[in-house]
Amino acid sequence: MNIVVCVKQVPDTTEVKINMETGTLIRAGVPSIINPYDHFALAAALELKKKHNFKVTALSMGPPQAKSVVQMAMALGADEGVLLSDMAFAGSDTWATSYALAKAIKKIGKTDMVFCGMQAIDGDTAQTGPGVAQQLGMAQITFCESVEVDGRRIIARRLIDGGHETVEAKAPVTLTMIMDREYVARYPSFPAVHGSLKKPFHVWSAADIGAEDQYLGLKGSPTQVNKIYPPAQKEKAAMFSGSGQEGARKILEIMRGEHFIE
Ligand SMILES: Cc1cc2nc3c(=O)[nH]c(=O)nc-3n(C[C@H](O)[C@H](O)[C@H](O)COP(=O)(O)OP(=O)(O)OC[C@H]3O[C@@H](n4cnc5c(N)ncnc54)[C@H](O)[C@@H]3O)c2cc1C
């Protein structure tokens, strides 16, 4: 089977700073890493490669410096890397990003499984994986913790409210991966990094993947940022003293006062 893993370069922080005037992310001066969920997705794909001898291609869309996350994925074991880099992609929302990634996956060739992270730690929308599946007309399994393959059957254990469920689908499938709590990210050795430089790596423009300009970037993005602002500060929490019963009585009073209860 052929697997494509979508890896996004993200700032090494969950405290993303926003340019209040333009409504865009401020990336300057913040070190970048591979999105942690994508690191886990890559590890899951590489595990399948080891077991079944599958081919794994790492795919990213971003500015030229996003090459480093593709290179990292190759150093960790991906066989090939693709970076979509073109000014035409700049400012893309999740729809336009999914469109471009899906176009690239079609160009990569026959793909049986697409792995994405559950979400990117900067954009946080969790929309891109399902968007890619939709653009490719593939089945999708979201919030997966682990994945097994048996012939063309993909068996995924996914996290749901209050428990887990096991879902089966026939390839081709797009999966979005959550992160196992036990997971410890692996980093490549120097020889692995060096070896990865010899692996096939491609930089593709919008024209290379046959993407139509009208569906890319800000103008191809159906979502427009209207206004961006920090959430209102919460009022300082009330402090109670006294016994548990007195505390409970006070909480009930407050809830009645706010009409949460009668
Ligand atoms: C209205 C709006 C306007 C935006 N404007 C800008 C802007 O002007 N400039 C800007 O830089 N960003 C902008 N963004 C953010 C940009 O759209 C997102 O970074 C991108 O679409 C991915 O969404 P996300 O970060 O929420 O990823 P999620 O949907 O949370 O990511 C899920 C998974 O999809 C995959 N994935 C996501 N993005 C990529 C990628 N680029 N390459 C490879 N795999 C990927 C990864 O596997 C990831 O784990 C905007 C977002 C919105 C909603």
Q: Whose CA is nearest to atom 25 of ligand 1?
A: 123
List, in sequence order, every residue forming a beta bridge with 2; answer none if it has no partner: 55
In a domain, 223, yes or no: no
Q: Which residues line ligand 1 (CB under 6 A)?
A: 6-8, 24-25, 35, 37-38, 60-62, 91-94, 97, 101, 116-117, 119-120, 122-129, 223, 225
Position 123 confidence tier, pLDDT thresholds 50, 70, 90: confident
CATH of the domain at 152: 3.40.50.620
In a domain, 15, yes or no: yes
In a domain, 94, yes or no: yes
In a domain, 196, yes or no: yes
Instruction: Name which residue leads in pLDDT, 241 or 82.
Output: 82
Mean model confidence pLDDT for the chain: 92
In a domain, 139, yes or no: yes
| Whole-angstrom distance, CA of residue 34 vs CA of residue 256 | 48
Domains in the chain, number:
1
In a domain, 252, yes or no: no
Cα separation values, 195 from 76, 102, 212, 220, Å: 10, 28, 35, 38
Which residue range is the domain that position 169 belongs to? 2-215
- The pLDDT tens digits of the residues spanning 84-100 come to 999 999 999 999 999 99
In a domain, 154, yes or no: yes
Counting atoms of ligand 1 from 1, which one is nearest the CA of 132? 34
Q: Whose CA is nearest to atom 20 of ligand 1?
A: 94
In a domain, 160, yes or no: yes
Per-residue pLDDT at 217 exceeds 70: yes
pTM recorded for the entire structure: 0.86
Per-residue pLDDT at 60 exceeds 90: yes
